[in-house]
């Protein structure tokens, strides 16, 4: 099946490509995430991430400890841990 895109404006095509890239990047986890990147992925503040690291992340079944590595003042999470956190929050 061939689609003729010659009548579609270039700006619209570029916008669609950007939307698809963002969607693909959100599905494919990175190897490591900083607390700021994790807060953007989850839609919460970076202060919430810091609090969850200290006190545990609230879930339906109580609080769950997060697995992270402390690098300087920042917290770093593996891609697998980010996927687990997303599952627990959904």
pLDDT value of residue 69: 96
Domains parsed from the chain with CATH numbers: 30-89 (1.10.10)
- State which residues of the chain have pLDDT below 70: 25-29
Tell me: the pLDDT tens digits for 41-67? 899 999 999 999 999 999 998 999 999
Specify the DSSP class assigned to residue 45.
-
Q: The pTM is what?
A: 0.66
- Using DSSP's 3-state secondary structure scheme, residue 34 falls into strand
């Amino acid at each position: 099946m061939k689609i003729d895109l010659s009548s579609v404006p270039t700006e619209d095509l570029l916008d669609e490509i950007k939307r698809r890239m963002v969607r693909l990047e959100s599905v494919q986890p990175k190897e490591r995430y900083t607390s700021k990147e994790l807060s953007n992925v989850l839609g919460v503040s970076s202060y919430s991430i810091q609090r969850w690291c200290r006190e545990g992340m609230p879930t339906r079944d109580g609080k769950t400890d997060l697995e992270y590595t402390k690098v300087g003042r920042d917290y770093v999470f593996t891609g697998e841990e980010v996927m687990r956190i997303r599952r627990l929050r959904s």
